[in-house]
Every structure is written in C-alpha cells, then in structure tokens.
C-alpha cells in the first residue's frame, strides 16, 4: 500500500521522532537507550494478525505493562508503549535513581506511586513521538491522559490495537535500556484519514526533494 519511497520517508521520519523520544526517556531513567531500526507497515485489519507481538521478539511469555494514549483532531489514533511487567520495577527504580537489582513478576508488587512513575514515563515518551507528527503535518493534536494496564501478552490481541479502524499504519520500534535490560515496543495505530494525511505530507516532501 505504500511505495518503497514513501515507506523510506516514513521510516526516516519515525526514526527521528522516536530518536527524540528515546532521548527524553534516557534523561528520565539516566541510562543509555538503544533503538532498533523502526518497522513501518500499512496493514488492513486482517493482515494485522500477522503482525504479532511475538514477531517483535520481546514478549515471549508472561505479563506486559501497556500504556496507551489516544489522540484526536484531524490526525487521530492510539499510541502504545509496552514492556515486560517483570521489568517495570527496574524501570521505576532507574527513574527514581534507586537500587536497580529488584524485579517483580506481578503488578501487585508495584505501589500506586510506582505505577504513577510508569505512567509519566509513558506520557513523556508517547507525547514526544505523536507531538512531533503534529508538528510535521502542522495540525494540532489533542491527547487523552495516559492509561496504564497490566495484561497477559496472550490477551493483547491485534483487535485491541486495531480498534474500529479499517486500515492501520503500524509503526513499531523496540528500545533497549542497557544496564537494566528492559526491552519494549512503541506501536502507533492510525485511522485511514490520518494515514492519508501522512501520505500526503510524505508526497509533498518527496516533491520538494525532486524540485
């Protein structure tokens, strides 16, 4: 659905935006963040089944922390950040500059304050990625306050990500926080009108390049 050139531009844009977001996350946890090359796919609902979380090689089993923000305006969709629940405590500890040795396997071991830290990490990271898209397309984006959930990986079906949208632009990247070995994914789903807005912008950029 995307030409190789359009895809190339989108990967580059996403790379820049996620890079900026990782920089912010790095400041918060005071750790170096290693990013993967982002994967970008424009998929229909049925194809999304092929794009499982297992393919990201991150959630082999167990529970995951998933935070999402919905965003609206002309450009609308949902953005998700996910990482293994067992690493949530380590991420919080890094943020609070505490001892990094502790890990937990259940969300019950996280206090309200620790969940609040997770929410703030996700808020800053996702707002940065999506907000930069708003700057790119010159449209103001309205965000909801972030939501944090603990889910079994097996229960996180593509339908959750897809929602009511017919076509989904999936932007997937993984990040690795070196000293605490936290690996996670950022995933953004957009509806078809928002996809068109981005594609139009990409075409504009390509035309400018060819002038």
Q: What is the DSSP string of 43-109?
A: EETTGGGGS-GGGGT---SSEEEEEEEEEESSS-EEEEEEEEGGGHHHHHHHHTT--S----SSGGG
Question: What is the x/- site pattern for another protein, positions 52-91, by CB under 8 A?
Answer: ----------------------------------------
Q: Which is nearer to another protein, 113 or 208 (CB)?
A: 113
93 binds another protein (CB under 8 A): no
- What is the nearest approach in angstroms of another protein to the Cβ of residue 8? 24
Environment class of 47 (CB within 10 Å of its CB; exposed 0-12, middle 13-18, buried 19+): middle
Number of residues that bind another protein (CB under 8 A): 25
Pair 68, 148: CB distance under 8 Å: no
Q: Which is nearer to another protein, 2 or 81 (CB)?
A: 81
Q: Which residues bind another protein (CB under 8 A)?
A: 20, 24, 27-28, 95-96, 113, 116-117, 119-120, 123-124, 127-128, 131-132, 134-135, 138-141, 143, 145
């Amino acid at each position: 659905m995307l030409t190789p050139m359009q895809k190339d531009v989108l990967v580059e844009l996403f790379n820049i935006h996620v890079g900026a977001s990782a920089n912010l996350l790095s400041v918060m946890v005071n750790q170096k963040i290693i990013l993967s090359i982002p994967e970008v796919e424009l998929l229909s609902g049925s194809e999304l089944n092929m794009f499982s979380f297992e393919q990201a090689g991150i959630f082999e089993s167990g529970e995951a922390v998933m935070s999402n923000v919905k965003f609206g305006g002309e450009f609308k969709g949902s953005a998700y950040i996910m990482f293994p629940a067992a690493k949530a405590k380590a991420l919080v500890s890094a943020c609070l500059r505490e001892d990094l040795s502790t890990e937990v396997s259940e969300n019950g071991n996280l206090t309200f304050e620790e969940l609040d830290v997770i929410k703030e990490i996700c808020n800053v990271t996702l707002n940065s990625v999506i907000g930069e898209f708003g700057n790119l397309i010159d449209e103001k984006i309205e965000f909801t306050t972030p939501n944090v959930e603990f889910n079994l990986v097996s229960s996180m079906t593509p339908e959750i990500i897809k929602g009511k949208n017919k076509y989904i632009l999936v932007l997937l990247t993984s990040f690795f926080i070196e000293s605490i070995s936290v690996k996670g994914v950022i995933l953004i789903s957009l509806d078809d009108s928002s996809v068109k807005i981005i594609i139009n912008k990409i075409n504009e950029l390509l035309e400018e390049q060819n002038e």
